[in-house]
Structure 1
Amino acid sequence: MTHINALDPGASPLDYYGYELRRAREAAELTQRQLGDVINYTGSLVGQIETARKLPTPAFSERVDAALGTGGLLSRLTELVLRSQLPAWFQQTAELEARAVEICAFQTHMVHGLLQASAYARAVLGALDRSNLDDRTAVRLARQRIFEKEKSPVFWAILSEAALHQQIGSPATMRDQLAHLLAFEHDPRINVQVLPFSAGAHAGLQGSFNLYRFPGDPTIVYTEGYGSGHPTANPDTVVDCSLRYDHLQAAALSLRDSAELIRRVMEERYGEQRDVDGGPVA
């Protein structure tokens, strides 16, 4: 078991967070249990975070900052900590997401990570590996905090209709996920379009990809394999994928029609089933 005195604050962002949390707590002359009582968490959890055995959440950090008067230090560190827990091959891409002014994504078989609801993300991440699932889910969802920035990116997402029908998790999980997509219906910065089955052969048949655009840097194309990510600024690849995306948008349903299709699939495929007496079916 790691002991707090052995922590090296330079070893990782998580170790540095634990070191600063302990330093601020001790400066306030509070025990772990006392701080936990103040912020409505257990002293055990405070100790686990101080010893880098548990990830802090944004809510935890905000409460500690308020309780200890740290001027938002821990909240600022949280994003760095959570990003550092992403798979090493994806960390560069997470930085691209955080810096981009526009993101264009095409997904062939599931909802994009920036649009995933909690239960859906958990089901995706737990398909083969259920270890540390709570922390891994929190890390994925933390990527969505880019939409809370004062200057958040404009996000265009095209989902194949297959992503609406591929049941990931329970029917309730899918219903919640599709409702989550509909929550963006009137948000001009988060735009969801569906590429319907009726589109037939289309420009995205080679697979999912993302485009990241920046105010002063070249556009990046990102594709993904099993356990690997492939960002590139190759001009020919960027031109090719930009053209493909334009054609996919032309073939996709409008924002309004996409929302109607999502709503229809949510109700018809994942709506609560009832028996003849009107009660829910077990």
Structure 2
Amino acid sequence: MAKGIDPQSSVAALFGSRVRKLRLAAGLTQAELGAKAHVVASRITQIERALGAKPTFELAQVLDTILGADNLLIDMWPYVYREAFPDWSRAFMAYAERAVAIGEYAAQVVPGLLQTEDYARALLSLDILLSSDEQLEERVVARLGRQKRLASHDRPELRVVLDEAVLRRPVGGTAVMRAQLARLLEAAEERHITLQVLPFDQGEHEEMGGSLTVLTLPDGDDVAYKEGAYFGQLFEEPSEVKRLTVTYDRLRAVALPPIMSLDMIRSVMEDNYRGANVPSRSERRRLAQKQLQQSGGWKLRGGGRRIPRRGPRP
């Protein structure tokens, strides 16, 4: 342990402890390691003592290679990065990594799990607190890294309701947005991903002020998360979670069924959508109820409670 630094006090401290141990095993001084990594020796000191700015992803990669860490430092970096987030945000990300089912209503932008690299970069670049292009790229890497879960053996069922505004706001420009819509269509081909669109003509609803995510955990419990332009809140209390789960189910029920939703996405992508093919509200309700009854996934019953179907995944 480096002069009183407890590796159990934080992930950054554990990361620094590992860097120091690997450096000593390699017979390098802090100055020598800094020279090889093209940073000043004091930067290595900061990392080993968990002081100052967190290591960048690029630096973690360089140190991993120089010290022969076999991806240990690279694998630890996302957790070091997340320590900069508030407690509730870190708790939500930890829940999301374990969730067996994820339900999202996106009010303004495509959810991070389905964003393209250019779309994510355009959104993340809007943060006025960004200090450098390097920091922006770190955030892009971290966001895209979370998408790997969708291709893993324990991938969750993903149900996404996109407000029509998400499709029509050209984030990053025409080319970036067209590629993002194509990504949505591609994702919808996966059996564990369902996309629906909530059209403007549906009118007012309970979540107009922000986005909503409901996570189902392996033990069957749910947690919920609400996010707006300047806030985020995690809900774990059962009565609050149930209320938000019912809200999410209502949004699914009045959104366009998946096939019609994909037609709308294609139309917007091709820039020829005119709204003539949007069914009436009553027809959408009838189609949605039929879809939910026939679906192998979540269903509505008794006040809208969602029941995840347990069974083998494809």
Q: What is the alpha-carbon distance in structure 2 between the residues aligned to residue 45 and residue 7 of structure 1?
A: 24
Which residue of 168, 171, 184 maps to 1:181? 184
* Structure 2, unpaired ranges of 5+: 48-52, 273-314
* Aligned position for 1:137: 140
Q: What is the alpha-carbon distance in structure 1 between the residues aligned to residue 4 and residue 150 of structure 2?
A: 33
Q: What is the alpha-carbon distance in structure 2 between the residues aligned to residue 245 and residue 73 of structure 1?
A: 39
- Measured against aligned partners, the alpha-carbon deviations of 1:7-49 in whole angstroms (never above 9, x if no partner) come to 94636424532442453355346899x999xxxxx83279868
Cα distance change of structure 1 residues 9 and 257 upon mapping to structure 2, 3 Å threshold: farther
| Structure 1 segment 19-30 matched on structure 2, within 5 A | 19-24=17-22, 27-28=25-26
Q: Which amino acid aligns with 2:97?
A: A
- Provide the TM-score with structure 1 as the length reference: 0.74
* Aligned position for 2:268: 265
| Structure 1 segment 103-122 matched on structure 2, within 5 A | 103-122=102-121
- Measured against aligned partners, the alpha-carbon deviations of 1:236-269 in whole angstroms (never above 9, x if no partner) come to 3333322222222222223233223222212328
* Structure 1, unpaired ranges of 5+: 37-41, 270-282
- Superposition CA RMSD, Å: 3.6
* Aligned position for 1:60: 61
Q: Which amino acid aligns with 1:27?
A: A
Cα distance change of structure 1 residues 247 and 45 upon mapping to structure 2, 3 Å threshold: farther
- Maintained 8 Å contact 1:89/1:228: no
Query: Which 10-residue stretch deviates more, 79-88 or 248-257?
Result: 79-88
| Structure 1 segment 30-45 matched on structure 2, within 5 A | 43-44=37-38
Query: Which 10-residue stretch deviates more, 100-109 or 209-218?
Result: 209-218
Aligned length: 258
Per the TM alignment, residue 104 of structure 1 is displaced from its structure 2 partner at its CA by 0.6
- Provide the TM-score with structure 2 as the length reference: 0.67
Q: What is the alpha-carbon distance in structure 1 between the residues aligned to residue 207 and residue 142 of structure 2?
A: 28
**Percent of aligned positions that are identical:** 33
Q: What is the alpha-carbon distance in structure 2 between the residues aligned to residue 105 and residue 250 of structure 1?
A: 13
Q: What is the alpha-carbon distance in structure 2 between the residues aligned to residue 49 and residue 113 of structure 1?
A: 32
Q: Which amino acid aligns with 2:72?
A: L
- Measured against aligned partners, the alpha-carbon deviations of 1:107-150 in whole angstroms (never above 9, x if no partner) come to 11111122222222222222241323222333333332332443
- Measured against aligned partners, the alpha-carbon deviations of 1:189-219 in whole angstroms (never above 9, x if no partner) come to 2322211223334454454211111132631
Per the TM alignment, residue 105 of structure 1 is displaced from its structure 2 partner at its CA by 0.7
